[in-house]
Amino acid sequence: MMVTPLFQIIFYEDRNFQGRSYECMSDCPDMSSYLSRCQSCRVESGCFMVYERPNFMGNQFFMRRGEYSDYMSMMGMSSGIRSCRMIPMHRGQFRMRIYERENFGGQMTELMDDCDNIQDRYRMSDCMSSQVMDGHWLYMLVGVKSPSYYMDSGPLNRSFREMGMSGMRFMSMRRIMDMC
């Protein structure tokens, strides 16, 4: 009997699961040594964030179990996947603090559940830094459908600008609760 790993994603060089493939069951900071390009993928189990640049940089996209035969056009990716990070299951409460200004300045709000619109719900004009205490979260941007930003309880996020997110306004924060 074959046991499916908790985390498994298969990347393909071409659309529609064609060309060479690379099977991944953990974080991969640089896929260039396995594939020259990546234009489709299949998530067999688990949840992943995929990135347009090596070392978990650039636009990121959340992927759960399913087939992505041409995710470049589906998600608006310009250059394909260059790195991926698995998102471990979190059991327990979810908590994060968002701040109106960089370096944890200005108005602070603590979240424990999803928030569809931080401007409307908390009357915050901006969200420029955060601290995740518990769980895994996706930050969704204003006016952008697919790209999102993954945050977990690790290093503090003192400045979204320093993380390459300057000029972006966050609209919603969502807990990653999927069993995928």
Cα separation, 28 vs 26, in Å, equals: 6
Whether residue 159 lies inside any domain: the answer is: yes
Question: What is the sign of the dihedral through the CA atoms of 10, 15, 18 and 22?
Answer: negative
Is the domain of 77 the same as that of 120? no
Which of 63, 87, 111 finishes a domain? 87
Residue that wins the pLDDT comparison between 33 and 127: 33
- Tens digits of per-residue pLDDT, 92-136? 999 999 888 888 889 899 999 999 888 888 888 777 788 899 999
Is the domain of 171 the same as that of 102? yes
- Tens digits of per-residue pLDDT, 128-166? 788 899 999 988 776 555 567 787 776 566 666 665 555
Whole-Å CA distances, 131 to 4, 40, 93, 113, 170: 34, 33, 15, 15, 15
Is the domain of 83 the same as that of 99? no
Whether residue 121 lies inside any domain: the answer is: yes
- β-bridge partners, 48: 63, 86
Asked if pLDDT for residue 180 goes beyond 60, the answer is no
Domain count, the chain: 2
- Tens digits of per-residue pLDDT, 61-82? 888 899 999 866 656 666 778 9
Q: What range defines the domain where residue 65 resides? A: 8-87
pTM: 0.79
CB atoms inside a 10 Å sphere around CB 172: 17
Which of 87, 113, 145 finishes a domain? 87
Residue that wins the pLDDT comparison between 100 and 171: 100
CATH of the domain at 162: 2.60.20.10
Is the domain of 55 the same as that of 107? no
